[in-house]
Each structure stands twice: as structure tokens, then as C-alpha cells.
Structure 1
Amino acid sequence: MTWIIFLLFCCLIPANYGRSIAVNDADENAEQAKLNRFLSKKRILIELQAEIFGISLPPASNETDIDKNPYIMEGDIVYTEEQLDILIEDVRGQLFAKNHPEGPKQLSLTPNLAMRWTMPIPYYFDTWVNRTTILAGIRLWEQETCIRFTRKDSKPPGNSIQFITGSGCSSPVGMQGGAQPVTLHPIACNTIATVVHEIAHSLGAWHEQSRSDRDSYVAILSDNIPEGVYPANFGKKSTMDYGVGYDYGSVMHYAKNDFAIDTKKPTIIPRDPMMENVIGQRVGLSFFDVKRMNLAYCNAICKNTLPCQNYGYVNPNNCNVCKCPPPYGGKLCDRFQQSGCGDFTLTATSSSKTITASGAKTCYFFITAPPGKKIQFKMLDQRLYDYLGLCKYSYVEVKVKRDFTKYGPRFCKLPPPVLLSETNEAMIVFQGYFSTNSFTMEYRSV
């Protein structure tokens, strides 16, 4: 009887069972070989970056954290082996430039035009993603640029973006070919700003502080960054900025304490101390985030020119008007836009007056003083509740410089010092993220 059962069991085993095991082993070996090549090149890249920064690295380890994707670097960028090859050559070029400072300067998009998408970009959803937030992020990119997306019910042939759930937020940089993932945790990554950030990576944008000219604008504090994270997550890359300067307010910029050992201390500080609370905002796309992407993808749409003012440019979604930086509006960006928060234009006198606003909204207040006078500001009350005072979501911005397209200092936790405008004009911006956010500020001419 035992022999009969044994023979029956043998007959039930598929004829190709041994072959399938061999195939699976071959697949696993190929994947392990691919990972080993990637980790080896990743180490080469980190060693080159360390040489640029003049730091020493701990000995290499062959161990990988099974809870983390080894292909993710900089916190949310999924690298390919081909991209590592390009970056290694890029960093070697940076090292050569460091040792030969008389050479040409390279300048936040990937310069590889083969990694640009053709329109419209197909996309489809994994089962468990938050479609409402993702669709809002897609709509924002379509409202602000000529970039267009088309939704598919399942994986389409050719190039596409697949929105999937995962343990974090991540995306490759630029079009990789085929279906490429944008990973979004349903809770941790469930904000429109996070979605547009990851889509920007897919469109070709690196992190803002990765620009090759970043050392002129920020300093990296490596003592507060764990070994293995620095220099890997703080490397520089050769990028194209299309004439758009360094953007402290970019949604692609690290916050001041990202990857910190002690989160109460910074890992990155602006050269201009007034920009400390500007970096790392996660409210949405900045004007210059949008402008750079429009110049990359939409520059050939409008054949006409317009005399746009205040850094505006012809709007690729409507070639008859200019696209304007806040707080400007109008066809040619030649006037201030109203924000619907009460009196927009205020007059400062020698007697103290107050400005107040509350709620989940954005408000602009334009203040003028008599010619020859300046405007003094003092915060009386603020309820902004921004975690660790990073000003990522809620803040009051005081534009005290002559050029209102430039960022002013932002405040969200500690009371700001008394501020003084450069001229007899200034602007206050209130960014409320929650309905309970509010502020009251005193102003007068001096």
C-alpha cells in the first residue's frame, strides 16, 4: 500500500518541476547579481561625493536593510543602474571641476532629453492608492503647465506612470521607459504637495538643493547627518535650470532638518538667514517650480511674445496673457492681485494699526507709508501650530525688500523680531493651512 501511495505521489509531480526550480533559482541569481552591481556602483558614487566634500567614509558593508528599498536614494528617488552610471560620470566631472576651478561652470531638471515625456502621459492606479489626492495633484500640474495626463484603467503599452501604495513616497527621475512607479503611502504621503513633488521627479526634476550651484545658496551641516546618509542624500548634480535661479521656496527643496540626527538642529541652512523658514515648504508648487517645467516642456507652444513684467512669461495654457508670480496679476503682471481677505491696500501712519487674518486660505496685504518713510512690523499674536517651526504648511511672510517677487522671512512658531521695510512699501502674506490658523500684526511708519 505504501508503495502505491508513493507511486501516485510521483505521478502527480509535474514533469517540468525540476526545471521550474532551476528557472526560479536562475531568476533569483540574476536579481541578486543586479543588486550587487547596483550596490557596488552606489558605493563608487558615494566615495566620489565624499572626495568632493572632503570627508572619510566608514568601511563598506555588504548588508542591506530588508525593510528598505536599496534602489531608493535621497529619501524618495528610485535610481536605476543606468542613472548611477550617468551620475558617476557627472560627479567625476564635478571632482575635475573642483580641482580645475578655471574650467566652465555647470548649472533643476535632468539635462537628458531622452528622459522627457511625450504628451499626454498615460497613468493608472493601484487598488489601494488615494485617488482623490493624486487626481488633485495631476490637475494642479495641468492647470499650471501645458503638461497633460490621460487616465487608463489598466497598464497600457509603452511608457506610463503607475501610482502604487508602499511604505513611503518615491519616484524615479524622468521617463525610464515602460511602466514606472510613483509610490505613495496612503497616510504619510496623502497631501497634494507630496503628490506634485513625486510627479515632478517623474517629469525630470531633482531636489532643488542638488543643483550644481547650490553651495552659493545653502550650507550642508554634515555633523547632524547620519553616516551612510551623508553624502549620499546631499550630492550635487549637473542640472538644467532654464535661466530660473535658485528657488528657496521650491516644493522640491529639503526642509532645514531633513535626515537630521537631532531634529531640533538643522542639516541644511541658507546662506541668507532670512530664508531659513522658506526652504522645505509643502503647501504646493512655487511659481518657479512651474516656470522651470513650462520652459522645459512648453516653450514651443506660444509663437507670440508679450511684454510681461515682474518675471512673468507667456502662459502656455493661454498665449494671450502672462503667467504671473504672486502677488502680481493682470494680463501683463503689472498690477497686484486681490486675495479676497478684506482690505488689500493699507496705509501706514505714525499711529499703530493692525492686520489680522484667519482660516485655511492665502491673503496678501500691500502697505504703503509716506515717501521717505519706512514701515515697522511687530507680531502681536499668531496661531499657526507648524511642527518644529519649519513653516512647511502655515506661516506669515513679511516681504520687506523692494522686489516683491523675492521671498521674505517666514514665521510660524517663535515670535519674529521687529522688522523694518527697505522702502516705503511692504507686503504681508498669510498662508493658513487649517481653519484655526490666524495672526495679528501691528504696523506703523517710522
Structure 2
Amino acid sequence: MVETITFKKVPPYPIMPNIVKLYISKSLDSEKIYNQLFFLSYSSCLDFHKLYTSNKHIGINFFSTQRKSKVILSNSLKRPTNVYLKKNVIHNEKQLAFYVGLALGLIPEVIRSDRNEHIKIHWKNILKSYKKYYKKEPYNEQYLTNTGFDFSSVMIYNPYYGSKNGKQTFVSKLYPYYEKVISIFKHFSYNDIKRINYMYCGNICRKENQCLHGGYFIKTCDGCRCPLGFIGNKCENIDSEFDKCSPKNNFLAYSFKKNLLIKNISRFCMYSIKSKKGRKVRITILNTKLSKTNSCDKGIGIEIKYGKDKAAKGLLLCNNYRNIKIPAISSEIYIIFSDYYPNNLLKLSYNEVK
């Protein structure tokens, strides 16, 4: 899947006002590749321009192959990045996004150096020839430290990638909840785009990033691009469209447990639970009921942002569950409840811990 790729250096692609030159073989569906790159022209300092002949110098070439799909990254202005794609990859949005991500210098989520905090690798289930794809990779650490492990990233493997016995090659620390939703994310996540910005645009804004809740500078450096649910020049506020659902949307956690019941939601709603400084919030999902299950891709689900990085996708619940214990990691937790039909509920308990 990632054969012959090296992660030693970010490809030296030009940034705006210059362009990254793209060549896409006529035997590939160029529109599908453009669809993966289109948003980057608006949300990063990269811009792309199509060529009708392949690049000989820095740029990206997409070729068709009948062999193994692979990416050979450029590390020189004198050489292009070459991407070789099988036809079945072009017709699989998530796989295509993965290879485009590799071509831009992103690394697979599973080989992050901090991956053991979030997943467990089952080495006994991995084919010997695939174990190299699960080796931790320290490259890009300066960019990854600004973003948390993200199960919504297009750079995360299928949990059965390289399996020799049909069993999962890795599981999340909150198995099986994350595994149920990995497949629905088919385009660059907020954090994927944020990492691309750090790699190529990080030196444009010559001032400290003061964006909150995982935000990052927009191209003009005079404001922040915010993750879903947050607004403000520094992403300091909850979007007012998200906090009109209940008389109270913000809660404080204490040492003793309290219960919170949210029900009959028919829009996007956001809630926060915060602890005192130096303490963390612990919650247990006691019961969930959605108007329709397995419909997170249609906007029906509950997201629990319990990690330190509020830009990373939280635990996404797309079914009805009981008794899910959420690790106490952060001093603040955000809950995004989204449904269209008011036949739903979320009941949880919360308290603060050291």
C-alpha cells in the first residue's frame, strides 16, 4: 500500500503565488483526483495547475498501474513525486484520498510515535511482508505534535490492512466504537488539512499561533480557521447556532457524580463540561438513543470530544449504546449531538478527577 515511499523530508512543492504542477494520466479519472485537492486551494497555501505532459521537475505525476499502488516522494526541486494507482483505488474515495495524502507528505496515522496511546497493534495478525507498514515513524513529529491522533483522518489504515487471518491488525483503546466509523470518512479531515498547512504554510504567518480549540491561521494571518462548533477570531466561542438547544449548555464538573440528560434534539447542538484547573473530566455514557442508527454519514450521531486536541474527531456514536466509560484525559469535554427527528436521548454521568 505504501511501498517505496520515504518520509525523510517534506516534498519541496512551491507555495502561493506559485503553483504545484499536476499531471494526471488520461487513463485515470482526473475529476476524482481534483475533488480531493480542490479544497486545499482555499484552505492552504497550495494551489494546483494541470499539465498535459508529465512533470520532469518538482510537481506531482499520477500514473495508472496494474501492479501495486505506490507513491515515490520527491525530495528535490529536480524531481517530481510519482504516484502509481490501480484502477480500483480511483473508484474508492478513501483509498484515493490516502494516496493523495501520501503525495503531499502526510504519514499514515497508525505509524505515529504516539499511536500506542490510542491503538493496540496485533502483530500476530499481520503478514510478515506488511509489518514494515506498522513500524513507528518519527518523521513529521513537529507537525503531528500540534494535532492529536485522528480516527477521521484519511491517513488511517483499514483495521484489516495486511491481515493474515481475517482478524484486525489493530484495535482502538475504545474498541469497538471507533472501528465502526472509520470507513465513513472519505475526505481530508480538519486535522489533515491543518497538518498540510503546518508543513507548507507554517512560516508564512510570522507570529505565534494563538488560535484556541485546535484552530490555525487562515492564509491572511489575521484570523483563525476553526473546527466545527467553534467561532471567533481565535476560535474562543461556541458557535451560537450550536447552543440554542437547551436552557443550559455549559456545565461544571465536581468531585461527586452528576447526571445529564439531553433529549428530543432536532438540530446540531453543542454542550461543554469543564473541571477546575489541574483536574480532568470523567464521563460515562449511560444510554444513547438516536432516531436512526448507522447514519452518522447523514448527520445523525453523537460526538464526544474528550481528547486534548479539540480539532480531532472525537468518539462518534452512530448506534444506541449503554455504559461506555470515556477516559479522563482533558479538563474540558465537548458534546455535539446531531439529529433531525426528536426521538432521541443521551444520558451520561460526569465528575472531575485528578
* TM-score, reference length from structure 1: 0.59
Choose from 304, 321, 324 the match for 1:416. Answer: 321
Match of 2:335 in 1: 427
Q: Is contact 1:78-1:171 (8 Å) kept?
A: yes
* 1:398 and 2:300 correspond: no
Q: Deviations over 1:55-109 (max 9, x none)?
A: xxxxxxxxxxxxxxxxxxxx2x2417xx5xxxxxxxxxxxxxxxxxxxxxxxxxx
> 1:350-429 counterparts in 2 under 5 A?
353-356=263-266, 364-367=268-271, 377-384=287-294, 396-399=301-304, 401=306, 404-405=310-311, 407-412=313-318, 415-418=320-323, 426-428=334-336
CA distance in 2, matches of 1:299, 1:351: 42
Tell me, which stretches of 5 or more residues in structure 2 are unaligned? 249-258, 276-282, 350-354
CA distance in 2, matches of 1:271, 1:394: 25
Deviation at 1:344, TM superposition (A): 5.3
Match of 2:57 in 1: 158
Match of 1:327 in 2: 229
Q: What code does the residue aligned with 1:366 have?
A: M
Q: Secondary structure at the match of 2:90?
A: coil
Deviation at 1:290, TM superposition (A): 1.9
Q: Secondary structure at the match of 1:289?
A: helix
Residues 224 and 174 from structure 1, CA distance in 2 versus in 1: closer, same or farther, beyond 3 angstroms? Answer: same
Q: Is contact 2:63-2:84 (8 Å) kept?
A: yes
CA distance in 2, matches of 1:393, 1:210: 30
Answer with 375-384 or 117-126: which moved more. Answer: 375-384
Deviation at 1:143, TM superposition (A): 2.3
Q: What code does the residue aligned with 2:206 have?
A: K
Residues 166 and 416 from structure 1, CA distance in 2 versus in 1: closer, same or farther, beyond 3 angstroms? Answer: farther
Q: What code does the residue aligned with 1:79 have?
A: T
Deviation at 1:354, TM superposition (A): 1.9
CA distance in 1, matches of 2:260, 2:314: 24
Answer with 275-284 or 131-140: which moved more. Answer: 275-284
Deviation at 1:126, TM superposition (A): 0.9
Q: Secondary structure at the match of 2:62?
A: strand
Deviation at 1:366, TM superposition (A): 1.3
Choose from 138, 141, 146 the match for 2:40. Answer: 141
Q: Which has the higher contact order (CA 8 A, sep 6+)?
A: 2
Match of 2:211 in 1: 308
Answer with 321-330 or 376-385: which moved more. Answer: 376-385
More strand by share: 2
Residues 334 and 169 from structure 1, CA distance in 2 versus in 1: closer, same or farther, beyond 3 angstroms? Answer: farther
Match of 2:21 in 1: 122
CA distance in 2, matches of 1:424, 1:201: 33
Deviation at 1:201, TM superposition (A): 0.9
More helix by share: 1
Match of 2:186 in 1: 283
CA distance in 1, matches of 2:13, 2:332: 47
Choose from 271, 274, 286 the match for 2:173. Answer: 271
Q: Deviations over 1:393-422 (max 9, x none)?
A: 98734316486545432234x532256898
Deviation at 1:122, TM superposition (A): 0.9
Choose from 89, 102, 111 the match for 1:210. Answer: 111
Match of 1:172 in 2: 72
Choose from 91, 108, 123 the match for 1:222. Answer: 123
Deviation at 1:129, TM superposition (A): 1.4
Deviation at 1:133, TM superposition (A): 1.4
Q: Is contact 1:383-1:439 (8 Å) kept?
A: no
Deviation at 1:191, TM superposition (A): 5.1
> 1:186-205 counterparts in 2 under 5 A?
186-190=87-91, 192-205=93-106
Q: Is contact 2:190-2:311 (8 Å) kept?
A: no
Match of 2:246 in 1: 346
Which structure's CA Rg is the greater one? 1
CA distance in 1, matches of 2:86, 2:133: 21
CA distance in 1, matches of 2:180, 2:89: 22
Q: Deviations over 1:319-351 (max 9, x none)?
A: 111122222123211223477xx9853357988
State the Cα RMSD in Å.
3.9
* TM-score, reference length from structure 2: 0.72
CA distance in 2, matches of 1:365, 1:225: 41
Q: Is contact 1:321-1:332 (8 Å) kept?
A: yes
Deviation at 1:150, TM superposition (A): 1.9
CA distance in 2, matches of 1:178, 1:407: 36
CA distance in 1, matches of 2:214, 2:61: 35
Q: Secondary structure at the match of 1:319?
A: coil
